[in-house]
Structure 1
């Protein structure tokens, strides 16, 4: 197991720096009902416009990374939430549940949320594939459409099945805490090797991060999630920069990252960019 962890860590860092696969130039965007799929080589990435603009699949060949709606009717796939949880829970329906309007412009797939006077929030999601290494480039824009100031942060959530999750830990501060059984830090890396799924209640790990990445190894896939690195003073209240949530019975995990906590005046917006890759 230790040798596997070392191998995965080296591979992850290497993939962050250089292209590690050669891809044929057959990039395309296809549609089936409300499902839009971006594909390149053996990589496919699917998003539902009807289900809150949710990412519902990320595959290499036939191997699926993301947990599907089999595990939960709402908490599956990958999505954008608003943070901190203390201020934005439950999430506004137009952010996470209601249909988005879809557009395709050249090689970019764009989703636009419904206008909503209750939330005062407008979301634009953009997805594209890099021809260099088949990574998925994700851009989220959050706009304050209300007449009042809002303070919030982007919260990126990817739900996966149990494997080996890890990321480099940042500053040692009070927010770093966990009740996730089996998670531990060694040589500056937080490790969570999924074990038995016997937990009766959900478990959560909160931590600072370093370098702006979080990785997960499952089904012979090494998934790397890259995001903007922030400092502790920029973290939303009560949240970590990186978090891992273990659902009851371990039926799925959430790999979470939070962006900079920002005050938005009316009509102001923030952009949060991330990258998914194998």
Structure 2
């Protein structure tokens, strides 16, 4: 069986490379991919949070090594080997949803000791305008400059404009994170979490801007509830991926009321 699995319904396509950490390497609308396909980091991956629990680089068993792929009903399930660093077995279930796909992550604890993690999805795009809504401003540890307009926050990625990696950390979001680029609007919808349930030294919404103009990309990231996973238990977390074409004449500009309305629709 090929390691490249393609799921399609209507105008939507999602492609997963089972041999590369079951990474999502394509999310397309009418054949137009919203994800980064070249450079040092591509597509969308998953890490357990907090990062300080495993350091760097990401655990290969979860991020880059082969997963077992199984067809189920109208979708696919991808399952990792036991990760020797985090002691987790990760599975990713992908099925069609109304405006794209639902990605369900299951962190299973096969060990005899309790584990503590939060789910964390890291999605790479080439650039464009990233925005979200939240009840509070970004955390003080953030280095990525955003434009705050009321309860909406905006970042336009111009890789030639800086020479260092920048990152945003934010909590109390409205449960979605969007990116407008190359005529497409990508939106990820996720369960909101209270500040008290966020992994240590992390945030509900994170945006990373890569500071190398020769390899430009940004990561739009969100995390779920941090908590204990007892021996033999599984923590489940789902993200809705939506994709649409931007209306003709709609320029993705900071503060665009029309773009914000489209994302909230």
Same fold (TM over 0.5): yes
Match of 1:22 in 2: none
Match of 2:51 in 1: 85
Task: Encode CA deviations 1:54-105: one digit per residue, 9 max, x unaligned.
Answer: 000111123211001x211xx2100111101111223222111110000001
Question: 1-side partners of 2:159 and 2:118: how far apart?
Answer: 33
How many pairs align? 240
Provide structure 1 residue ranges, at least 5 long, that are not aligned to the other structure.
1-30
Question: 1-side partners of 2:125 and 2:198: how far apart?
Answer: 24
Match of 2:195 in 1: 232
Match of 2:262 in 1: none
The 8 Å contact of residues 176 and 240 in structure 1, kept in 2 or not, is answered as: no
**How far off is 1:196 after superposition?**
4.4
Return the match for 1:180 from 139, 144, 147. 144
Match of 1:136 in 2: 101
Question: 1-side partners of 2:159 and 2:231: how far apart?
Answer: 48
**How far off is 1:40 after superposition?**
1.5
Return the match for 1:222 from 161, 172, 185. 185
Confirm whether residue 202 of structure 1 aligns to residue 169 of structure 2. no
**How far off is 1:155 after superposition?**
0.6
Provide structure 2 residue ranges, at least 5 long, that are not aligned to the other structure.
244-265
Q: TM-score, normalised by structure 1?
A: 0.82
Return the match for 2:87 from 103, 120, 126. 120
Match of 1:108 in 2: 75
**How far off is 1:46 after superposition?**
0.3
Q: TM-score, normalised by structure 2?
A: 0.86
TM-align CA RMSD = 1.7
Question: 1-side partners of 2:18 and 2:33: how far apart?
Answer: 20
Detail structure 1 runs of 4+ shifted over 6 Å in the superposition. Answer: none
**How far off is 1:274 after superposition?**
0.4
SS in structure 2 of the partner of residue 240 of structure 1: coil
Return the match for 1:156 from 121, 125, 130. 121
Question: 2-side partners of 1:114 and 1:211: how far apart?
Answer: 34
The 8 Å contact of residues 101 and 113 in structure 1, kept in 2 or not, is answered as: yes
The 8 Å contact of residues 67 and 79 in structure 2, kept in 1 or not, is answered as: yes
Question: Taking structure 1 as reference, are residues 116 and 195 closer, same or farther at Cα in structure 2, changes over 3 Å only?
Answer: closer
